[in-house]
Amino acid sequence: MMNIALIAHDQKKEKLVEFTIAYEEILRKHTLFATGTTGKRIMNATTLQIHRFQSGPLGGDQQIGAKIANNEMDMVVFFRDPLTAQPHEPDVSALMRLCDVYHVPLATNMGTAEILLKGLQAGFVDWRKHH
Ligand SMILES: O=C(CO)COP(=O)(O)O
């Protein structure tokens, strides 16, 4: 059972909801975390249970970053909006930076996310144990 974070900016929330519906049965086997609004949207559209943090602009990205720094996150799916300036852009960058510091697989778009979920299903996502 892996710890997986699900995050999307407003323009990408619909895409992430579609993704969680498509992969609901795989995701159900894991412990899921999300920023506030993203988590609410996914829980409304699926039967998945999600630990929700603050909304991104209020510190949710940083709370997920803290889980990464504590070696408590196995995968991050973060559908960023590359076309809209975010008031908390430093938090967004910090979260992605910590993924790179701790070798946490990070998908920032649907194409990569599908590959990661298939890798997860095949048992390839075990980076955290090897630290
Ligand atoms: O802003 C976000 C990520 O940077 C996401 O936050 P919400 O899920 O609360 O919209």
Domain region containing 11: 3-75+87-126
In a domain? residue 105: yes
- Tell the residue number behind the tokens 């929700």, with chain if given: 52
Tell me whether residue 80 is in a domain.
no
Q: What is the mean pLDDT of residues 106-121?
A: 96
Chain Cα centroid distance, residue 8: 8
Tracing tokens 């559209």 back to the chain, one arrives at: 45
Mutational pocket test of ligand 1: of 55, 80, 99, the residue with most ligand atoms within 8 Å of the beta carbon: 55
Structure tokens at 122: 């095949």
Answer yes or no: is 10 within a domain.
Answer: yes
Q: Is the residue at 57 inside a domain? A: yes
Q: Is the pLDDT of residue 126 over 90?
A: no
What is the reported pLDDT for 94?
Answer: 98
Domains contained in the chain, number: 1
Find the CATH number of the domain harbouring 37.
3.40.50.1380
Going by alpha carbons, the residue nearest to atom 6 of ligand 1 is 56
60 lines ligand 1 (CB under 6 A): yes
Q: Within 10 Å of residue 84's Cβ, how many Cβ atoms?
A: 10
* Amino acid sitting at position 1: M
Using 50, 70 and 90 to split pLDDT, how confident is the model at 129?
Answer: low
